Amino acid sequence: MKNTFLIFVTYIAFSLNGNAQKLWTLEECIVYACENNLDQKTKIYNSEIDKESFQQSKRDFLPDFSAVSNLNRRFGRYVDPNNNNVINTATSSNTYGVTSSLNLFNNFKKWHQRSQKKLLYHASLEAVLQAKYNLSFDVMNAFYLVKFREDLLQITKEKLEISNLNYKLVTSKIELGLLAKSNLYDIESELGTNKLEIAQAQNALNEATLNLIQIMNFNGTSIKLKPDLVALKSLDSLTLETVFSKAIAFLPSIKQQELQVNASEKNLAIRRSDFYPSLVLNAAYRTGYFETSIDENGLITPFLDQLSNNAAKSIGLSLRIPITNKWSKHSNVKIAKINILKEKNILEQKKQELYKEIQKTIQKNTALLAEKEENESNLKSKELAFNFAQKKFNKGLATIYELEVAKNNLAQAKIERTRINLQLQYQKKAIDFYCGIAVFPFK
């Protein structure tokens, strides 16, 4: 029994440790954010509202059908509607009826409204997808920022380790009388600076992690990330026009605005239909029960007999011809025309912004590739300079200041390498996205 308990406790401990040490990939972070981000859920709810509006526009072709019933109690002197006799006593009456109407013609206004609702619904679906892409880019940017801060913290820790080794070396030389005690103050000052840099790097990492957690709406206070490895390559085979033509063919923001333009054109058709006559078919069935209805025996006619005797049926056509309405219809048409021009202008504006964004992305990627090549050679020279300075310092041929300058230059070169590599990964994914390549874990 004791062995079983120990096995159970060990299993729980490993399970908790496994959950605590889970490494999140970029794709997992994006999926989690899309499923839990509240703004994304709002976009989905808006699309559901537009979907129901579209469904209702199809049901608007059905005839109206309603039932009515009235209960009346009359007091004092009045005229009986059944026989036009004057009545001085209180009486009751019930009336019942069903009515229906069907729009036969309104210059296809309902068809235009249905088409408009369909376009707006599909535009809302594109808005949901575009919101997913925007959120994915936000997560990716925050993800790479956390990775950069992690590497920055590691580099500052490496600087501290070197300073600790040099501190021990200086201390031993002072004890042997090979160095003056003033050298100890310099190395202690550098140790303090390195510790401050670690604290600052840790705070920056915590801030970047919190930013990612908030974007994801993550239910936790910390998150561990798995490195995202992307094969970097030159874009010699891709031109700005090629990437742009691929992007406008699928980007939801462009499709959404194109649908908005089409919807505004349908709105113009709807406004123009208000100038034409409308024809409506009406039908009704009415009956009632009255206490004033008396048979030859002086008794109130039975309820069912009255319903049968008082039944009235009607069917008819209603024609409505608009003549003038303070010229509001003309104004609505003018506004609809202007709205079309506005939506088309927004579409061109979005295409222009997309073109500029792709242009910046390609230029940034080209510049980063050039920086990467220069940084690799610069990093090698900084490593050689630091190793040489360290050897000179060990032999007493260099000051602590010269060594720290070489160490800081090496650290800065490593930081630049990390920055360039992470930015290149981001730019590579962005360019692949604009080319229509499946970068994010959804369609």
The alpha carbon torsion through 425, 429, 430, 432 (nearest 10 deg) reads 140
Nearest-5° Cα angle at 204, 199 to 208: 150
Tell me if 256 sits within 8 A of 123, measured CB to CB. Answer: yes
Q: Give the three-class secondary structure for 320.
A: strand
CATH architecture of 63-105+278-320: Single Sheet (2.20)
Average pLDDT score, the chain: 88
Q: Domain segments of the chain: what residues? A: 23-62+107-276+328-435, 63-105+278-320
**Global pTM value:** 0.81
Residue 391 pLDDT > 60? yes
pLDDT in tens, 142-160: 999 999 999 999 999 999 9
Nearest-5° Cα angle at 193, 165 to 208: 110
pLDDT in tens, 293-339: 777 777 888 888 888 888 999 999 999 988 877 888 899 999 999 99
For the record, the structure tokens of 344 come out as 């088309």
Looking at residue 53, its amino acid is S
d(CA 43, CA 133): 13
User: Given the structure tokens 């526009």, which residue do they identify?
Assistant: 57
Query: What's the average model confidence in pLDDT over 119-141?
Result: 95
Nearest-5° Cα angle at 431, 44 to 217: 35
d(CA 377, CA 103): 79
Tell me if 74 sits within 8 A of 93, measured CB to CB. Answer: yes
The pLDDT of residue 9 is: 42
Residue 371 pLDDT > 70? yes
Which percentage of the chain shows pLDDT scores above 90?
Answer: 61
Bridge-partner residues for 282, per DSSP?
101, 316
pLDDT in tens, 24-54: 999 999 999 999 999 999 999 999 999 999 9
Query: What's the average model confidence in pLDDT over 182-211?
Result: 91
Task: State CA 345 to chain mean position distance.
Answer: 24
| DSSP label at residue 80 | -
d(CA 115, CA 110): 9
Q: Give the three-class secondary structure for 81.
A: coil
Cβ neighbours, 10 Å, residue 81: 11
Are both 23-62+107-276+328-435 and 63-105+278-320 of the same fold? no
CATH code for the domain defined by 23-62+107-276+328-435: 1.20.1600.10
